Structure 1
Amino acid sequence: MIEQNNLQELKDALSIKNEKAGLKHTINRKSTFLPFLTRGTERPKFRKGFEGVLGGFTRYISHNELREELDLERLINNVSNLVDVKPEDQSYFHEILRMFLQQKNGKIKVFHPHIFQYLPYSSGPEMKGEQEIAKFLADILTDHDSEFKSLFENHSSDDLVAKLILNKLQGLENIERKKKYISKLPFLSEIFKNDFLFLVKHQDYFKDHYELLLSYYYFTYITQLTLKLAQQSKATYYNSNEVYYTLDWEATSKNRKGYGYGYHMIKDTARNLLIHINTLEHLNTLMGTKNSQSYSELLDTYETMPQEQKELFLKLLEQWITEYRLHSLLPEEDKKFSSTYQSLTDHLFSSIEEAYQKPSMQGPRNRYSLSIEEVGKKYFLKTRGSLGYMLNVSQDLFLLLTALCLKNERKSLKQVFFELEKRGMYFDRYSKEEVVKLLDKLNLLDKKSDSGDAQYVKPIL
């Protein structure tokens, strides 16, 4: 609903006082698109991988909260007290339990899906960032679908030691969660649901690849949304933008699509990401929306308004640009801008961009998009000498996604590439040739002829 009070709401959100200049750039009040934080100390660096986010995500979709972190030594003592073991064998039994529960690096060993709920967040300020990502992924990928809630319950195990441990686990508390984020890429969320529900049926493979699966969908969602926000109202939200990856074991060059249409494209686009987030925050507040609308959604909303509402919105937007420039201490403009929706939207964006060019604002602007690079460096980027970082696919990731593309079906090679593209992974013709070599080497190809259309890929799982 467009009303004059929307302008005051935006001024209040940005801590604007009429009697003096200055404002505080505030986001994620009226519209929430990404879980990124501008404070460098709170941004996850993923030194221990995606484990903290994985545990938080699993608890979110299970509607649980970890009230007390798992104390492995206390759990070992509690379990050993249940078993009648000779005193001289006690230390050996403790060691068996420890081997069952703990990896060599000290991390919790996941021997049952329920254990994923006990993976803790990182300690220190980065915990806040991991918590936000976990909530974000639960909201946009599962939409709190009840089908996910039972997947990580404490079901009994056929293994006697596992059964003893599961019966003594404590610390989880059932709670109701409020939704904060709305998926702007519903096609990707739907693919994730299907992939996840298929993979979880293959328990051993799932336990080994759950972290990689979730981190890939996180990286794909945030990079795809970054590209689409840059396209503003011209973006389409029902399929993936073309983003080219390079296989880990192949050579590459500047002439490859993986260079021009890969990470360099994402990084260039991400420089303006915080500007777009601020612009959308302002537009959503002025328009009085309640569902974090993207540029194209805002345009659709505007175009379906009654004429008097359109006129009021344009008046508010024009007023706001003047006030924003005043409180941001930006110079007065000689140029007169036309009062059309697109012209004023572009003017708002350029004014915010101008404000963020100040030396004091460069830090938040640069730190915001670093959230993409942090997770990318951990899993999906590889430095290629003078070419810098490029999007990279390990054999493990390729086989995981291929298994999900195939599910239980035998599909043509062409169809497999199409399914990968739906998941945001594109290959040029050189990479496709390497893919064929790998599949052939692993005996996963059924060749009817040398023609690509007549080559079929066998199910992996």
Structure 2
Amino acid sequence: MRKIELRLEGKSGLKSRSLKQNAFQHHTGYQVNIFPFKTQPGGHIFKADFSSFQGIMGDVIRLSQKKDMHKPKDNVSYKADLKSTILRNALQKVDTNESLHLEDILSKLYFDTEDGLFKYDFNVISYMNFITTKAAIKDIPIFISDVFIEGNDRFKSLLSSKGNDNILNQLISESLPAQTERKESERDKRVFKNMIPAVVSIFQKDFNFLLDNKEYFLQNFEQFFKYYYFFYFSQLVLKLHEFGRETYTIKPIYFSLEWENLSESRMGLHKPGWQELSKQYDRVFAHANTLELINYIRVDDEILGDYDEISFRYNAFEDEEKDAFKNCLTELLDFYKVEVKTLIPPANWGECQAQLEASLENRKFDEEITKLIYSLWYTIRYQFENGKRKKPYRDYALWISTFAKENFTKSGGRLGPKFVLTQELLLFLTKLCVGEQQKIRLKDYWTKLQERGLAFDETSKLEIVKLFERINLIEKKSDSGDAQYIKSSL
């Protein structure tokens, strides 16, 4: 029989980690590391970084090179200090009597009006800094590195070549300040778990395609990672909402085009859309804590993983082992309700139980293990939504909801936000769908978009076809239009 136990005691046990000054404190990332989010500060303060994504990807590259940014002198801004350092180094390397003229040329060619360095090759991205100075955002590059980049030698090859035919590019590259060696922290040792291998698999395929088109990849570098970051977490919240009761498959999310106006009836058919996703975004902290607590249950000293992995393991148990596991879950739930004392009256555990039973009746779970997992999650969620910890609960969710809203939504007026694609992003994703082929059938194109997490209603599909006809991306094999192809634009 397998050894199944709930680790309450000991230095790394649940009591030691969660009970501080006679109060239960929620901590995530010790047992299983899933979300690169924080309760302090709230994600809404990082709007500019979420929109740009340059600082985030700059740190991803620095992580791969085990480097850290140079620190600006005194109170000078990072951009201003970087610009002055580059120009000073460049002028020292060139023997000229026209130093001021050369400085003016380099300044206009390589820097924007806010002193930002233009992106002319991949190595330059490592000099892109965060817009917001709060250190909490640095977990996002670590997440991207752990889940999407780790072990990918081709990503490192992207940065290995520093040769450049453009003599001015070469001069600027040679004038970049040296970066410091990155010191590994305890935080770096807590690796983020890949919860959606299917998304990462498609990412790798698209990444390899873009590597063969480096100039185009450079132009769309941030956009590519930004979309896959959204794709991953949107699929994750939908997956978690099933609590391991079914085999996970990618669930396409309904988008419309940025220039479309949606009626109420069309918006109502867009499921899952913003309304469904935003509801799940709001509950991510409850999931993070549920999985953290469940993983204090060990099977033969091993961590369990996510809901799917827990259900898979449970179904392989003997009857006696199943009973032992259910007892551990029940003990965990009882421990939580005894130790958490932050409910605001009239909220109470009796009311929570009554609401839970009604919710279980509505969800109609077949498996006993799924009901127990859901019960723990529901109890944790009830505590956050009806207790003194509403603000950290909301602030944690804002890390994903703000990101999604800033990059992929548009106001639908009284109907609320809706997921939209810009023409630029649509064409970029279309290139990924066509890939290395010269053309693909239109019906296959819709399938490939669905594989990448996107669904469109028939009206939006007609709009896409009209756009492609206008820019000559559609090829018709017959006058009737029965056989239509999407052409590659690379």
How is 1:300-319 mapped onto 2 (pairs within 5 angstroms)? 300-319=312-331
Contact 1:32 1:292 (C-alpha < 8 Å) held by counterparts:
no
Higher mean Cα deviation, 379-388 or 195-204? 195-204
Letter in 2 for 1:249: W
Letter in 2 for 1:165: I
Letter in 1 for 2:334: T
| Corresponding residue of 2:250 | 240
Rounded to whole Å, the distance in 2 between the matches of 1:119 and 1:179 is 25
Runs of 4+ with deviation above 6 angstroms: 334-339
Rounded to whole Å, the distance in 2 between the matches of 1:103 and 1:174 is 28
Rounded to whole Å, the distance in 2 between the matches of 1:357 and 1:178 is 32
| Corresponding residue of 2:280 | 269
Rounded to whole Å, the distance in 1 between the matches of 2:302 and 2:130 is 31
Rounded to whole Å, the distance in 2 between the matches of 1:432 and 1:81 is 57
| Corresponding residue of 1:46 | 47
How is 1:170-209 mapped onto 2 (pairs within 5 angstroms)? 170-173=177-180, 178=189, 180-209=191-220
Residue 445 (structure 1) aligned with residue 454 (structure 2): no
| Corresponding residue of 2:236 | 225
Rounded to whole Å, the distance in 1 between the matches of 2:316 and 2:119 is 52
Picking from 96, 116, 123, the partner of 1:107 is: 116
Give the direction of change, closer, same or farther, for the CA distance of 1:50–1:235 in structure 2 (3 Å limit).
farther
Cα deviations across residues 148-201 of structure 1 (Å, max 9, x unaligned)? 112123511111111122223233356577561121111211211221232233
1:108 deviates by 1.6
Contact 1:412 1:456 (C-alpha < 8 Å) held by counterparts:
yes
Give the direction of change, closer, same or farther, for the CA distance of 1:451–1:210 in structure 2 (3 Å limit).
farther
Cα deviations across residues 360-397 of structure 1 (Å, max 9, x unaligned)? 12112222221222212322110011111100100000
Higher mean Cα deviation, 401-410 or 47-56? 47-56
Contact 1:262 1:390 (C-alpha < 8 Å) held by counterparts:
yes
| Corresponding residue of 1:436 | 465
Rounded to whole Å, the distance in 2 between the matches of 1:51 and 1:44 is 16
Letter in 1 for 2:392: P
Rounded to whole Å, the distance in 2 between the matches of 1:241 and 1:42 is 25
Rounded to whole Å, the distance in 1 between the matches of 2:235 and 2:156 is 27
| Corresponding residue of 2:77 | none
1:24 deviates by 0.5
Rounded to whole Å, the distance in 1 between the matches of 2:306 and 2:255 is 27
Contact 1:65 1:173 (C-alpha < 8 Å) held by counterparts:
yes
Give the direction of change, closer, same or farther, for the CA distance of 1:451–1:7 in structure 2 (3 Å limit).
farther
Give the direction of change, closer, same or farther, for the CA distance of 1:41–1:261 in structure 2 (3 Å limit).
closer
Rounded to whole Å, the distance in 2 between the matches of 1:196 and 1:4 is 42
- Structure 2 unaligned blocks of 5 or more: 73-80, 361-366
Contact 2:477 2:484 (C-alpha < 8 Å) held by counterparts:
yes
Residue 128 (structure 1) aligned with residue 157 (structure 2): no
- TM normalised by structure 1 equals 0.90
Rounded to whole Å, the distance in 2 between the matches of 1:138 and 1:291 is 22
| Corresponding residue of 1:116 | 125
Picking from 412, 423, 446, the partner of 1:395 is: 423
Higher mean Cα deviation, 176-185 or 111-120? 176-185
Rounded to whole Å, the distance in 1 between the matches of 2:446 and 2:91 is 51
How is 1:225-374 mapped onto 2 (pairs within 5 angstroms)? 225-237=236-248, 239-256=249-266, 259-287=270-298, 293-329=305-341, 331=348, 340-374=368-402
Rounded to whole Å, the distance in 2 between the matches of 1:442 and 1:290 is 55
Rounded to whole Å, the distance in 1 between the matches of 2:42 and 2:312 is 39
Letter in 2 for 1:59: R
Rounded to whole Å, the distance in 2 between the matches of 1:15 and 1:378 is 37
Identity %: 27
Rounded to whole Å, the distance in 2 between the matches of 1:403 and 1:33 is 30
1:352 deviates by 1.3
SS of 1:249's equivalent in the other structure is coil
Give the direction of change, closer, same or farther, for the CA distance of 1:165–1:34 in structure 2 (3 Å limit).
same
- TM normalised by structure 2 equals 0.85
1:211 deviates by 1.3
1:332 deviates by 6.1
SS of 1:392's equivalent in the other structure is strand
Letter in 2 for 1:242: P
Letter in 2 for 1:222: F
Give the direction of change, closer, same or farther, for the CA distance of 1:317–1:309 in structure 2 (3 Å limit).
same
- Structure 1 unaligned blocks of 5 or more: none
| Corresponding residue of 1:412 | 441
Give the direction of change, closer, same or farther, for the CA distance of 1:58–1:160 in structure 2 (3 Å limit).
same
Higher mean Cα deviation, 357-366 or 242-251? 357-366
Give the direction of change, closer, same or farther, for the CA distance of 1:328–1:179 in structure 2 (3 Å limit).
closer
Higher mean Cα deviation, 320-329 or 400-409? 320-329
RMSD of aligned alpha carbons: 2.7
Rounded to whole Å, the distance in 2 between the matches of 1:300 and 1:262 is 29
1:146 deviates by 1.9
Picking from 59, 65, 88, the partner of 1:56 is: 59
Rounded to whole Å, the distance in 1 between the matches of 2:20 and 2:333 is 13
SS of 1:233's equivalent in the other structure is coil
Contact 1:2 1:286 (C-alpha < 8 Å) held by counterparts:
no
Give the direction of change, closer, same or farther, for the CA distance of 1:28–1:265 in structure 2 (3 Å limit).
same
1:6 deviates by 1.3
Number of equivalent positions: 453
Contact 1:156 1:163 (C-alpha < 8 Å) held by counterparts:
yes
Give the direction of change, closer, same or farther, for the CA distance of 1:298–1:44 in structure 2 (3 Å limit).
farther
Give the direction of change, closer, same or farther, for the CA distance of 1:312–1:384 in structure 2 (3 Å limit).
same
1:273 deviates by 2.1
